[in-house]
Structure 1
Amino acid sequence: MKEKAFLHNVKLFCLLILLLFIPVTVLAQKKKKKETESEIVKKDSTDAKKGKKYSDLIKKGTVKKGLFNIIQVKTDVYFEIQDSLFKREFLIVNKLSQVPYDLNEAGLNKGMNYENKVISFYKDTIAKKVWVKTYQPKVSSPKDDAITASVINNFAESIIEVFDIETKNNDSSAVVIKVNKIFDGKQKSFNDVMGNIGLNGSVKSDLSYIEGLKSFPKNIVVKSQMTTSLSDGGATVPITLGVTTNIILLDKTPMKPRFSDKRIGFFTEKHWYFADAQQAMLEKELITRWRLEPKKEDEERYMKGELVEPKKPIVYYIDPSTPKQWRKNIIDGVHDWQAAFEKAGFKNAVIAKEPTEEDLDFDIDDVRYSVITYAASPKSNAMGPSVVDPRSGEIIEADIIWWHNVMTSLQSWMRIQTGPIDPKARGNKFSDEHMGEAIRFVSSHEVGHTFGLKHNMGASFAYDVESLRSKEFTAKMGGTAPSIMDYARYNYVAQPEDNVTVITPKIGEYDKYAIEWGYRWYSPNENETAKLNALLTKHQNDPIYFYGEQQSGVAIDPRSQSEDLGNDAVKASEYGLKNLKRVVDNIINWTYDKDQSYYETGKLYVGTIGQWQTYNDHVLTNIGGVYLNTTVHGDNKQSYVPVPAAMQKRAADYLIKNVITIPQWLFFNDILDKTNPLKDSPLGPYEYTPYTMARALQYEIMYSLLFDERLLRMTENELYQRNKTNEKVFTVNDLFKKLHQSVFAGTIQNKSLTILERMTQKNYVDVLIISTNKLFEKTDAKKTIQLKETLQMPHLCSVDDEHTARNINNYFLKRVTEVTSDKKGELSKVLQLLKLKKSTGDQSTQNHYLDLIQRIEKALNNTTF
């Protein structure tokens, strides 16, 4: 130990001697070097202010020139914004580019546009910052009106982001800002993907990054990978999304808007107008449409009625991932609209094509390209949304999402609706030619949405039911309705002996009329409003041009229903039932596949039952139904026309015959020797027993038939019509009388009841009790019972994307209406009958009566009444 201490002291002494002999000049040189480094840092800072740092950025990074020059230095991304672009309006468009399995299963897919907003950049030279603001461009006022100052202050912009100015370009005509934070998930200002698609998690910025950048003359494209995690039953599931942000420069002068009219169906953007001369604010809706106009040199020819090519046609690209055998069908579906645009004066206005080598910059996520995107997904659907300039309603780009599994819906419709009259529509797999025809129809429908057209659910009512059985009529008119924007699927009315061959929906007269109204160009010297009104007036009394809004919830107007055909739901459904019986007789043969399970058999069977329920709903809507007409002063039309009493009676008789009396051919047949009805679910095929299914679907119709709003409309009709014309009406009492006589026919005749007859009586009594309880807002558990759709025929598109039909409000204080008295009166009448007949029939029937008596007495003696 002493030896080690000695050596340590020697080392210290030697080090001290060495330090004493270091030349002073060396220390001076080190001091000078330190001072020089400080001066360099200071000089760098000064140079940055003078723009020298800009040169370093350019030297170190890569530059992509365009709307904003994009400078990328390793992982740092900078925008170089020209002074001329400050205060200009831009549109942010955010889309999904990639999704993991977990979100695909939930129905989210590539191509979906989830967030749009208008922004402007503002340069702050004092604070050396760039502010980004957003606003809702839905308010206007004349520039020189006094009220405009108030409009500016009351509809002001909001700040959503701020950037430090890093430097200027060489001639100081642009500033440079670092933008990583708005694209890598640190900030939600430009892209709040998690919030907009409904995920609760926040972006994990350390697991997110900017993936790619492009800059073009009028837009920027930035692609990112955004990661979050979700808890699923305790386990954490990682979720990474590919997202694309487009920043688009909007035109200084927006397209001239065209104002909507409720008599024709276009998607709209709401707009408020203020002016000094007003006595009230003016609210209008701008239709959404493409900017289609003739070239300057063709205007005179266009005005003379000659067809001309538009200055800029509407172009759709086919996603390269689309299976090759369907590409031509999708393209043909787009080109079928050419005839409609010719009605508006334009030829070659719509083009669909596959991207070629000439489309060097083609990118599905780039808003310069409208794309029919093909999504590998189990979802059976398609939809056609658009990106719209909210200032004018101009459609900038369209995003049609085509889910691969939409073909399962098409096959189901064709087999069930046309199998009896078309041998090509019977097998488990169709030929490519036959499926291609269906794909063409869906393509046309969805593209119609991207032109701004809403669903026209009233179109099919224009055709007489018998005409749908005419080979000549269907060939001449082309399809099942005058609009492909209706949900008029396939011709289920035509019978095998009719030899009808044109059974697929096609673009019709209403579609051509709507495109002409929305897209015909008018010169500044013409009175556009007068000409548009003249076009509407010309066709106002022709059912071919009738527009029926899509209805949400319980339908009021039976003309505007989904999946229906013709102007008489009872007659059409009766023809439909004849064909359904043919389907049921052939289900096993049509689905035969040697050594395979009965999976396809069960699925076709459940689809057939679903079609039966669809017919029931079509008929049901006529009871208490009202024709809702969009009227204007001077047209001499009625706004509210109750469905004729004769039609309501026929509808009630149909339901009694085909629902109150459960059709045994449908629910109890030889198919049950092989399989139950099957419906796909996330856990695999779900089987329904026939008794359970029949009971649930009958209950659903009964509940809807005795729905409070329906009975209230019948009461109001009775009051109004009798006070007005003494015209015969179909009353609530008439309805209850028909139902009572049918439901309790066996009881009245002292018969022993079958299981199905007892089931029907239980359903009827329970519907009366539950619906009456709801009138008094009971907290009893029964009140929370909600009917869930046991079956649902497949649909296309989404009602969420459009305004649905107007709401007729009759909810106020329903408990003091006649509905309460009518329902309780019917319960009392049933109770009296059951007490009188409680000892008739076999033991099961008597047990059944005792059960119903106790239920009704409990309900009627409830103290809350």
Structure 2
Amino acid sequence: MALTQASCSSTKTATSQKGTASSVEAEKPKPSKNGIKSYGEVITKDAKSDAGVFTVHKVADKYYYEIPDTLLNRDFLWISRFANLPSGLGGGYVNAGSSVNEQMVEWQKVDNKIVLKTKSYSAIAADSLPINLSVKANNYQPTLYAFDIAAFSKDSSAYVIDVTKFFLSDIKAISGLDSDMRKNYKVSKLDDNRSFINSVKSFPLNIEVKQDFTYDAAEPPSNSETGAISLMMNQSMVLLPKVPMQPRMYDDRVGYFNIRQIDYGSEAYKADEKSFVRRWRLVPKDMAAYKRGELVEPVKPIVYYLDPATPEKLRPYIKAGVEQWNKAFETAGFKNAILAKDPPTKEEDPDFSPEDVRYSVIRYVASTTRNAMGPSVSDPRSGEIIESDIIWYHNHLRSYRNRYLLETGAANPSARTLNTPMEDLGEMMLEVITHEVGHALGLPHNMKASFAYDTDSLRSGTFTQEYGIAATIMDYARYNYVAQPGDKDIRFVRQLGPYDHYAINWGYRYLPDAKSPEEEIPTLSKWIEATNNDPVYQFGSGSGGYDPASQTEGIGDDPIKASTYGLRNLKLVAPQLTKWTAVETNDYNDLDELYGELLGVWSRYIGHVVTNVGGVYENRLKPNQKGFVYTPVPAKMQAASINWVLDNAFASPEWLHHSQISRNIHHASHVEGIRSLQVRHLNNLLSADRMARLMENEVNNVDYNALDMVSQLQRGIWSEIYSGKNIDIYRRNLQKAYLDRMNFLINEEPSRSSRFGTPVDLSQSDIRSIARGELVKLEKQLKAVRARNTNQLTKYHIEDALVRIKNILEAEKA
């Protein structure tokens, strides 16, 4: 754990330090007769008490907190999470364990009340500066709840308050239902008769409360006949260190999660926004040896305990996944910085609990969810990570097995089965755990790392065994789908890469001579600029969807070449799916599942190439570095990408239709499935934000613009009218979808086209002019060929297209 010794002190130690309490702490409580009872009247002999940061008492059906006066006005972090939730809540994108809200709070004494108040560090100024008074006055924080003092402790050193009503009330700031959910599900109220406190547990540094709530809801996300939503919330209150860790300034050229503050005490002529990276507190145990460049153990290592529910056969892989990060920490000068341990037995530690914030745990969750998560709790004052629980859902390996089969099966014999060897599954799990621990160390996804490697190098056994398939484990580059049959000694699964060593060194190397975050900046910047823009050390979040070098699930530096290799492999895998699934199981369920996922893989390969069109490379630079932050993709590559999409996405995909598959998994959905996938990419290409970027090419001297793209796309999608061929069912569907999209660009209101991506006003841009002009051209071409074709369905389709075009153009006039 990365907690300081001060922050790890027990409540007993904290309360014994009353004599050294700072001036901001409340004065000692004194007995009063203002409705305050004696301690014995409130906390009776029947009370069940749980000592911790606060002592928690349960008396009959009431819960009481006994708050030491030394912990008033101390900073606590309050985290509200889903413990259990109904299926479909939030559209299915919310899982058990997901955080709903994190806020800093403090307990204050106001007359005869104890007040729970939120506290923000997003706006700050040093206490010594006059502007601090204005910051406090203009950032007054809300009160979550006010509690009557029920009693004083026996020695008058603590206040007893009844928290029952608070935890049984629908407090919006800690509720799992946000305003959108309440509106969508037509939530009317919390049902008091069906809501209760499930448990309250106190630990030396935190209190955990579980609330079982049922809301009346007219349209719940599941079990609609009940007219209710039931969920269990977990409220965590964590005592933060008295002295915050020295922060490290965030730099967007290196990937770290961060916290932001507005410093009104800055000497700049405006409020200065400061960002700090989120990281554990690692301090060398032997500072002199550390300064000499020797590997040194930290004062307090990061320790993860395995969930007792973890299957024995998986434990070695999980431990190895955690401790693999020690290789990167050695680059930062630490040895044994991160450890994985089995859960202690009752005899070894009777007080061990995964809910205790002093312990970080890799939780093994019995759930059909296919996911893993690496959340962490950090101090909003400094970015110090206090605790982290990695969550592994039982069914997650199924997703990896399926992707392994589909993406590597052509070149990798061990992937050609549902019964993937345990050695392979273990390696996958190890790397997933390493990835999730990376998040818990403060590292976000770095989608640019996979672009650092030459695409053809991924077909080299020598290269992939040493460097992996991406420069970091934090990219979504799970498998090597580029390697072809016959390539030797290939590594197919991702691994820790050179960027991971670089990022951990940048974030965790201790700088003993720097006495403030600002004093660290010259050293940190020098490390970044020493990489000289080497793509191996670049960071890209993948957000925005405009940078082809920063995409999820892509590998290699050439999306066209990588997707060509991937699609070539997929065409070899598709005919074998029945043999590798249904023949093994004598059941079609797995075949159905795998075929559906195969369509998804094909779609991803298409999407990687689509991003080249209107694409812009983003290179995070400071003004003292050479080059531009934004560079458009070369014109030739954009045009080549449209040709690739026409040949590999919009051409009729006969390779996907296998009677042994389609006639055994559905009765009539193959054509519709293909249509849906093709339309997704068509609409993506003809999106207003992509066309806006293409129009920008005109002023950036890139010889490929929105008109070039639409003209090239239209000619390819309607190629049959030039060749005289019959138009098959796939192409008829695609061409109708094209007309629908043109109608959208010509006749939809501008505001509806600007919801995502680059803002653009359709009514005042060239987009509408281009769409109209190309549609008029298409209308003339269709009229010229409609009498030539003898195929009846093709003739009907052309006539229908002409009617649709007429309606689109006339609707615009209206």
Corresponding residue number in structure 1 for 2:156: 172
SS in 1 for 2:391: strand
Alpha-carbon offset, residue 239 of structure 1 = 5.7
Residue 135 of structure 2, aligned match among 151, 154, 157? 151
- Cα shift readout 1:520-571 (whole Å, capped 9, x = no counterpart): 111144731111001111114211011111225xx11111111111000111
Is the contact made by 1:182 and 1:191 (CA closer than 8 Å) also made in structure 2?
A: no
Corresponding residue number in structure 2 for 1:820: 768
SS in 1 for 2:649: helix
Corresponding residue number in structure 2 for 1:353: 341
Corresponding residue number in structure 1 for 2:10: none
SS in 2 for 1:675: helix
The answer to whether residue 535 in structure 2 is matched with residue 535 in structure 1 is no
- Distance in 2 (CA, whole Å) between partners of 1:177 and 1:617 is 57
Correspondence 1:483-498 to 2 at 5 A? 483-498=472-487
Amino acid across the alignment from 1:300? A
The answer to whether residue 81 in structure 2 is matched with residue 92 in structure 1 is no
Corresponding residue number in structure 1 for 2:60: 74
Alpha-carbon offset, residue 53 of structure 1 = 4.1
Residue 803 of structure 2, aligned match among 854, 860, 865? 854
- Distance in 2 (CA, whole Å) between partners of 1:698 and 1:55 is 72
Correspondence 1:398-547 to 2 at 5 A? 398-477=388-467, 479-525=468-514, 527-547=519-539
Alpha-carbon offset, residue 359 of structure 1 = 3.2
Q: Structure 2 vs 1, CA of residues 847 and 639 (structure 1 numbering), >3 Å: closer, same or farther?
A: same
Amino acid across the alignment from 2:689? E
Corresponding residue number in structure 1 for 2:722: 748
Corresponding residue number in structure 2 for 1:186: 169
Alpha-carbon offset, residue 460 of structure 1 = 0.5
- Cα shift readout 1:437-485 (whole Å, capped 9, x = no counterpart): 11111111111111111110111000101100011111111x2101111
SS in 2 for 1:399: strand
- Distance in 2 (CA, whole Å) between partners of 1:105 and 1:775 is 27
- Distance in 1 (CA, whole Å) between partners of 2:510 and 2:297 is 12
Q: Structure 2 vs 1, CA of residues 525 and 464 (structure 1 numbering), >3 Å: closer, same or farther?
A: closer
The answer to whether residue 693 in structure 2 is matched with residue 719 in structure 1 is no
Alpha-carbon offset, residue 663 of structure 1 = 2.4
Structure 2 unmatched runs, 5+: 1-30
Alpha-carbon offset, residue 352 of structure 1 = 1.6
The answer to whether residue 351 in structure 2 is matched with residue 371 in structure 1 is no
Alpha-carbon offset, residue 757 of structure 1 = 4.1
- Distance in 2 (CA, whole Å) between partners of 1:695 and 1:630 is 38
Amino acid across the alignment from 1:172? S
Q: Output the TM-score relative to the length of structure 1.
A: 0.83
Structure 1 unmatched runs, 5+: 1-44, 678-686, 722-727, 787-806
Corresponding residue number in structure 2 for 1:845: 794
Is the contact made by 2:39 and 2:154 (CA closer than 8 Å) also made in structure 1?
A: no
- Cα shift readout 1:641-693 (whole Å, capped 9, x = no counterpart): 11112211221221121123122112x3333464247xxxxxxxxx7622222
Is the contact made by 2:406 and 2:570 (CA closer than 8 Å) also made in structure 1?
A: yes
- Cα shift readout 1:92-111 (whole Å, capped 9, x = no counterpart): 23344455778799576554
Alpha-carbon offset, residue 487 of structure 1 = 0.6
The answer to whether residue 784 in structure 2 is matched with residue 836 in structure 1 is yes
RMSD of aligned alpha carbons = 2.9
Q: Structure 2 vs 1, CA of residues 747 and 304 (structure 1 numbering), >3 Å: closer, same or farther?
A: same
Is the contact made by 1:109 and 1:375 (CA closer than 8 Å) also made in structure 2?
A: no
The answer to whether residue 540 in structure 2 is matched with residue 548 in structure 1 is yes
Q: Structure 2 vs 1, CA of residues 58 and 820 (structure 1 numbering), >3 Å: closer, same or farther?
A: same
Corresponding residue number in structure 1 for 2:371: 381
Correspondence 1:70-469 to 2 at 5 A? 70-98=56-84, 106=92, 110-124=96-110, 127-183=111-167, 185-186=168-169, 188=171, 191-195=174-178, 198=181, 200=187, 202-228=189-215, 230-231=217-218, 232=220, 235-236=225-226, 241-275=231-265, 277-295=267-285, 298-357=286-345, 358-469=348-459
- Distance in 2 (CA, whole Å) between partners of 1:767 and 1:51 is 72
Is the contact made by 1:338 and 1:348 (CA closer than 8 Å) also made in structure 2?
A: yes
The answer to whether residue 558 in structure 2 is matched with residue 568 in structure 1 is yes
Is the contact made by 1:377 and 1:405 (CA closer than 8 Å) also made in structure 2?
A: yes
Q: Structure 2 vs 1, CA of residues 321 and 102 (structure 1 numbering), >3 Å: closer, same or farther?
A: farther
SS in 2 for 1:348: coil
Q: How many residues align?
A: 771
Is the contact made by 1:775 and 1:820 (CA closer than 8 Å) also made in structure 2?
A: no
- Cα shift readout 1:364-389 (whole Å, capped 9, x = no counterpart): 22322222222222221112111121
The answer to whether residue 610 in structure 2 is matched with residue 616 in structure 1 is no
Amino acid across the alignment from 2:463? F
Q: Structure 2 vs 1, CA of residues 698 and 212 (structure 1 numbering), >3 Å: closer, same or farther?
A: closer
Residue 682 of structure 2, aligned match among 667, 692, 702? 702
- Distance in 2 (CA, whole Å) between partners of 1:604 and 1:260 is 42
Amino acid across the alignment from 2:424? H
- Distance in 2 (CA, whole Å) between partners of 1:508 and 1:567 is 16
Q: Structure 2 vs 1, CA of residues 500 and 585 (structure 1 numbering), >3 Å: closer, same or farther?
A: farther
The answer to whether residue 730 in structure 2 is matched with residue 738 in structure 1 is no
The answer to whether residue 626 in structure 2 is matched with residue 652 in structure 1 is no
Correspondence 1:752-767 to 2 at 5 A? 752-767=726-741
Alpha-carbon offset, residue 360 of structure 1 = 2.2
- Distance in 2 (CA, whole Å) between partners of 1:541 and 1:147 is 41
- Distance in 1 (CA, whole Å) between partners of 2:90 and 2:350 is 30
SS in 2 for 1:528: helix
Amino acid across the alignment from 1:81? I
SS in 1 for 2:67: strand
Is the contact made by 1:224 and 1:243 (CA closer than 8 Å) also made in structure 2?
A: yes
- Distance in 1 (CA, whole Å) between partners of 2:704 and 2:95 is 49
Corresponding residue number in structure 1 for 2:3: none
- Distance in 1 (CA, whole Å) between partners of 2:521 and 2:793 is 71
Is the contact made by 1:307 and 1:342 (CA closer than 8 Å) also made in structure 2?
A: yes
Is the contact made by 1:90 and 1:119 (CA closer than 8 Å) also made in structure 2?
A: yes
- Cα shift readout 1:379-425 (whole Å, capped 9, x = no counterpart): 21112111121111111111222222212211121011111122221
Is the contact made by 1:557 and 1:626 (CA closer than 8 Å) also made in structure 2?
A: yes
Q: Output the TM-score relative to the length of structure 2.
A: 0.88
Larger radius of gyration: 1
- Distance in 1 (CA, whole Å) between partners of 2:125 and 2:585 is 73
SS in 2 for 1:417: helix
Q: Structure 2 vs 1, CA of residues 688 and 383 (structure 1 numbering), >3 Å: closer, same or farther?
A: farther
Amino acid across the alignment from 1:761? Q
Q: Judge which range, 99-108 or 109-118, deviates more.
A: 99-108
Q: Judge which range, 416-425 or 206-215, deviates more.
A: 206-215
Corresponding residue number in structure 2 for 1:774: 748
Amino acid across the alignment from 2:383? G
Alpha-carbon offset, residue 629 of structure 1 = 1.8
Q: Structure 2 vs 1, CA of residues 94 and 736 (structure 1 numbering), >3 Å: closer, same or farther?
A: closer
Q: Judge which range, 313-322 or 728-737, deviates more.
A: 728-737
Q: Structure 2 vs 1, CA of residues 159 and 596 (structure 1 numbering), >3 Å: closer, same or farther?
A: same
Is the contact made by 1:380 and 1:409 (CA closer than 8 Å) also made in structure 2?
A: yes
- Distance in 1 (CA, whole Å) between partners of 2:680 and 2:197 is 52
Amino acid across the alignment from 1:151? V
Q: Structure 2 vs 1, CA of residues 76 and 851 (structure 1 numbering), >3 Å: closer, same or farther?
A: closer
Q: Judge which range, 47-56 or 270-279, deviates more.
A: 47-56
- Cα shift readout 1:770-795 (whole Å, capped 9, x = no counterpart): 332226579xxxx99x9xxxxxxxxx
SS in 2 for 1:719: coil
Alpha-carbon offset, residue 241 of structure 1 = 4.5
- Distance in 2 (CA, whole Å) between partners of 1:512 and 1:235 is 54
- Distance in 1 (CA, whole Å) between partners of 2:266 and 2:612 is 48
SS in 1 for 2:262: strand
